[in-house]
A and B are shown apart, each in its own frame.
Chain A
Amino acid sequence: MSCEGFPAFISAQLHYLLSHCPLSIKIEQAWSGGKYSGSLDRFTLLIPYCLDTIKWDVIYNAEFPHAAPDVIFGPEDEDFHPFQDRGAKSSLADWNNKDPTRLLALIQELRDQYMSYQRKRVGEVDDDRLKFEISTILSREGIEMHMSSGIEKPEEVKFAVPLVDANINKMVAGCPWRHQQKIYLQVIYPVSRKYVSTPSAPRLKLMSTSELKSLFSIDDVKLPQWLDGMCMAEYLPHLEETLERQILEAVTLIEVRRHFIESLAPLFGRPIETDMVFYRKSMFFVASGAFSFLVLFFLSTQFPKQQPALMLQSSLYFNAQGIPVKSPLLTDYPWSPRWEPSQMAERIFEFLVDESLNFKKYCSESQLQH
């Protein structure tokens, strides 16, 4: 969402927040609190926390630009009262509406306090296993915790444990990611206040920042089994080792895909477009006699184990909406991951020579229908 419709002083601070924050904060909605002027002066921020988002309403006052904004926290956090003990140090203390960095500083400060608030709540839970887990993993950096309790929901404690210390962004040449890519293990413990001889295993889920999937899909990772009586400190090292190996492999696969796309060039000509960072997509222009079309190659992160998906797109035939006629995704053609890249290219070329005739027929038929 853009920063349009806000008065200049709010939009400067908001723009700075959205572009400089290491987390990807979003504005869910913005509206005006004035009686006459329609300038937007209040908005809901979606702030990532513990692999979920928290919603905070920031309330400025367009009529009184010099007044510092106020914040309303979520309905489940009515006991969260930051700045109670260390008010003087807060970024709110000497608010300056002309300083664009202020809102970011405020949100970061509040989020830090929210983190300690949640950690304190989790620490107060009367559950022996949880107390043990916290004491053994506290030394790990960047762990976020969240205590969820509701009238209808069972009490649960959620941990977000960052995995793999290595900087993934630096492993990718020409990395386009603005935010640091991370993989987390979400561990959810049901709170058991009664003594249980064998506490149930926590719910585990691997999660990653969304952009990482162009390099590496965490859905392909099989989590090791959680054995009875296990704790996180035992479980994590093995998982991290596996992940590190798989990430390194994913990085080398970029090179394999690049090599494959390059081997297509002698047969198909130079690609019109190629994803030059991850080599997941490439587009070629092909002519067979008077019939010309585009071939799109989609390569998964599992390439070459998984063959590329192909799509043909006509440059001559358009449907009633003016959109070029496209073939369905083609994935059923001869393939072996053990072939040399040049052989892969040759076999695809041969397949497409036949397929182009089908596609030509398909194009002219769809044209006749209109």
Chain B
Amino acid sequence: MVRFLLSRLAQSVFILIGVTMITFALAFLVPADPVRMIAGRNATPTVVENIRHQLGLDRPIPVQYASYLTRLAQGDLGRSYMQRTDVSTLIASRLPATLLLMAGAIFFELLIGLSAGIWAATRRGRFSDKAVMVASFVGVSAPHFLLGLLLLYVFANLLGLFPLGGYGTWRHLVLPALTLGIAGGGWYGRVMRSSMVDVLRQDYIRTARAKGLKERKVVLVHALRNAILPIVAMIGLDIGIFMSGAVVVESVYGWPGIGQLAWQAIQVIDIPIIMGVTLTAAVAIVIGNLVADLVTPFIDPRVRL
């Protein structure tokens, strides 16, 4: 187990370095010049070249990459070209909003997924089972931006139950979190259903029933404990989807998270921010995948570490 963890950690470091390398290369392939964005529209060519030199952007790209890695190893993410602030400060000021959004999304995923899955599993083959499963597919097939706009239109504009976007109270959180959570909830519902159906066939469930336990207790206590494991692994794998979804959902709702930060930075090729956000997202995804891998053995006893 320890050996597994260590080797996975080593692999993760390798993956993260690879991510920085690709991002760095991509940032330099964009056909636009970050220095021109910094220097402004009154800059003469000399001024532009001087700023380029100040930023070290006149060095060969491999040299720049090496110096980026060196500073990264010391925990320095660099300084934003346009905002003139440490990237770590910028990310730290926005990460809580994104994490909050993710937490809210996971809450809704579980709420929707578990209730739909359990409901459908205990009514297997009936009309309500089919209806729930179709609904879950609709959730899966709806693009984030469409859901976002529709929820905003219905619940914020027509009914006035929630604010029209923004950040601050729990009311602001509900719609964006729900938007991100519906798609995942659809998947969870499907997985939960089949996992629950499997578990309900197991011997120990029959025993529990035979002992005269109430069906409600059998399902919600004994069966759920085992049936929920695949879901835990899925949450880990979902981090990547959240990171992508955040770009869209944050833009629809004006949520001040790192998705918006990345989007704005890409518009003006603010390379340090692009690097920092991608790396942050990659770290989150790697952690999520690790969690999923650690949980898997408990789901399927045949997979041993």
B and A form one assembly: no
Which residues in A have some Cβ–Cβ distance to B below 8 Å?
A: none
